[in-house]
Structure 1
Amino acid sequence: MSERMERFLAWRDRVAGGDSERAIAARMGIGNNRVGRHLRESDPPVAETVIDFARAYGVNPVDGLVAAGLIQQDEALRAAASDPLRAASQLQLLDELTRREKERLRGPLSTHDPEHSAETSPGRRRFRRDTTVGKGLLT
């Protein structure tokens, strides 16, 4: 059995709380043979059945798709972030960036922190630009 399948089965068992395949099938309103074929024997599990299973147990289907290895965690995160970012106005985005920058500037400064580098003049500090903040979010 693959590591991916083991990870999915662990997620499935955690969500189902020890329910048998027969109980899972009854909760999903399908035959228990389909549960066995689609959620245990198929590697990777069948996406539609993973989604139906998650909905039957009231959990996020995306977590099941990630656990099954059908989508990657970073893909799920980008998808979750892209719609709100696209819907935000420029003013809202600027307000959020300003808030984050103020928060970062108020935080403790460390000489070991590669994001911060001090200028030689006392009392003034210069910060390196973080170019990784939005990388890949809108693609």
Structure 2
Amino acid sequence: MSERMERFLAWRDHVASGDSERAIAARMGIGNNRVGRHLRESDPPVAETVIDFARAYGVNPVDGLVAAGLLTRDEALRAAASEPLRAVTGLQLLDELARREKERLRRSEADDTGTEATPPKRKRWRRDIDISEGLLT
């Protein structure tokens, strides 16, 4: 048995809390032969059945697909992050970039002085902030 399959079976057993394949099949509304073929014997497990299993137990199907090795964790995270980002306007993205840069500069200045973060006295930094704020208002 592959390491990927062992990882999936551990996830499946954790989610099912010790339910037998017959109990899993009943909960999913399918035959227990299909559960055995798709969630135990098939390496990798059948994606559609993994999704149906996760939904039957009220857990995130993506976790099952990752446990089965059908998706990587990075792929799942990228997919989750990409949709909200598409809805953000360019102006909102610029605002967030400016906010992060200000925070980074404040932290850097605090690290340099060993004190609470205060706006640095460098003119260039102040001018850059003024320019970015002007762009975002």
TM-score relative to the length of structure 1: 0.74
Displacement after TM superposition at 1:61 (Å): 0.7
Identity of matched residues, %: 86
Displacement after TM superposition at 1:101 (Å): 2.2
Partner of 1:115: none
Q: Which moved more, 1:12-21 or 1:91-100?
A: 91-100
- The aligned runs of 1:50-65 (5 Å cut-off) are 50-65=50-65
Q: Which protein has the larger Cα radius of gyration, Structure 1 or Structure 2?
A: 2
- The aligned runs of 1:34-73 (5 Å cut-off) are 34-73=34-73
Per-residue Cα deviation, 1:104-130 (whole angstroms, up to 9, x for no partner): 33336769xxxxxxxxxxx87xxxxxx
Q: Report which of the two has the higher share of strand.
A: 1
Partners in 2 of 1:86 and 1:97 — Cα distance? Answer: 16
Quick one: structure 1 residues 89 and 16, their matched pair in 2 at CA, closer, same or farther if it must change by over 3 Å? same
Partner of 2:87: 87
Partners in 2 of 1:5 and 1:92 — Cα distance? Answer: 43
Structure 2 unmatched runs, 5+:
113-120, 123-137
Displacement after TM superposition at 1:56 (Å): 0.5
SS, match of residue 65 in structure 1: helix
Displacement after TM superposition at 1:98 (Å): 2.2
Partner of 1:114: none
Displacement after TM superposition at 1:17 (Å): 1.1
1:105 equivalenced with 2:131 (yes/no)? no
Displacement after TM superposition at 1:64 (Å): 0.6
SS, match of residue 107 in structure 1: helix
Q: Which moved more, 1:96-105 or 1:11-20?
A: 96-105
| C-alpha RMSD of the superposition | 2.0
Partners in 2 of 1:16 and 1:106 — Cα distance? Answer: 49
Q: Number of paired residues?
A: 114
Q: Report which of the two has the higher share of helix.
A: 2
Partners in 1 of 2:81 and 2:43 — Cα distance? Answer: 29
Displacement after TM superposition at 1:79 (Å): 0.9
Displacement after TM superposition at 1:83 (Å): 1.1
Partners in 2 of 1:102 and 1:16 — Cα distance? Answer: 48
Quick one: structure 1 residues 20 and 110, their matched pair in 2 at CA, closer, same or farther if it must change by over 3 Å? farther
TM-score relative to the length of structure 2: 0.75
Structure 1 unmatched runs, 5+:
112-122, 125-139
